[in-house]
Amino acid sequence: MKKDLLSICDMTTKEIDAILALTAEVKRYKGRYANALKGKSIGLIFQKPSNRTRVSFEIGMVQLGGHAIYLGPHEIEMGVREAIKDVACVLSRYLDGIVARTFTHEDALALAKYSTVPVINGLSDKAHPCQALSDIFTVKEKFGTFKGVKLAYIGDGNNVLNSLMCAAAKVGLDMEITTPKGYEPSQDMVAEVKAMASKSKARIAFSNDPYIAVKGADILYTDVWVSMGQEKERDARIKAFKDFRIDDALVRAAKKGCRIMHCLPAHRGEEITDDVLDSKSSIVYDQAENRMHVEKAILLKLLKG
């Protein structure tokens, strides 16, 4: 049976551990996998433009000996010019896998439902699983363990946070999440994450005060305050998030030597200052590079087995 990757919440801890272990091997022994997916092809169906997701999947597939084809926002117009079912059924005849970057999570689910080849969620409004797997791989790479490590997330209760919370809860990484009032993750997602955390013994906490959240934190993580599609909310969001910027003062309130993470793209001067993003403590470019290594591991698992 084909296997999809749509949400971290759908994965077992064993599956996550296997992806992380394979990622470490792929990153260290690049040449060993040079022809692992020779003759295989994936399609990148993107309703939203992208830098890291597109390039990392395309180059990752090439480095594995395969081929990637990009189908941008105006090429298919999935769900508008052509029904999702028809797109999924036809592309399944041409491709060995599909990476979908969609406005709604329902579109990704529909693609997976009708596709006979693996579907990977490259981002939806609800989840960003490849990013979260890359994030926890980077944490493990830098700290050697999840046990005793605390990650403070400062910002919006968005798709990135949803997936990162799920990943942390699965592997036993402590997280403290702080958002402005009214911008918290959904209660359904919080309940699901807390249930996962009870099994791994991860501490997942929530607050509306960034200075409480960062106390004792080994890692400070943020994301943009205004994502694609939220431009009309910009003024209200900038006002609501003004006290949630990662700056020198907030960094000093965390553990000395704490690392800085950001999934990028960054709106410099809004959610994070230049001096923090460009500091020696920043690991955002390592984090970005690891997207490709993690995605190569995912492609190997789903397309090769």
What are the catalytic residues?
101, 128, 131, 223, 263, 291
Q: What's the longest Cα–Cα distance across the chain?
A: 55
The residues that bridge with 175 in the sheet, in sequence order, are: 151, 204
The residues that bridge with 121 in the sheet, in sequence order, are: 100
CA-to-CA separations, 38 to 26, 60, 93, 205, 303, in angstroms, rounded: 16, 12, 18, 45, 11
Residue 24, judged by CB atoms within 10 A of its CB (0-12, 13-18, 19+), counts as middle
Task: Say how far apart CA 169 and CA 21 lie, in whole Å.
Answer: 18
Task: Say how far apart CA 72 and CA 200 lie, in whole Å.
Answer: 39
Q: Confirm if 271 and 246 have CB atoms less than 8 A apart.
A: yes
Task: Say how far apart CA 17 and CA 27 lie, in whole Å.
Answer: 15
Q: Confirm if 23 and 29 have CB atoms less than 8 A apart.
A: no
The pair of three-digit structure tokens given for residue 175, joined into one six-digit string = 């997280």
Give the CB-side neighbour count of residue 67, counting CA atoms within 13 A.
7
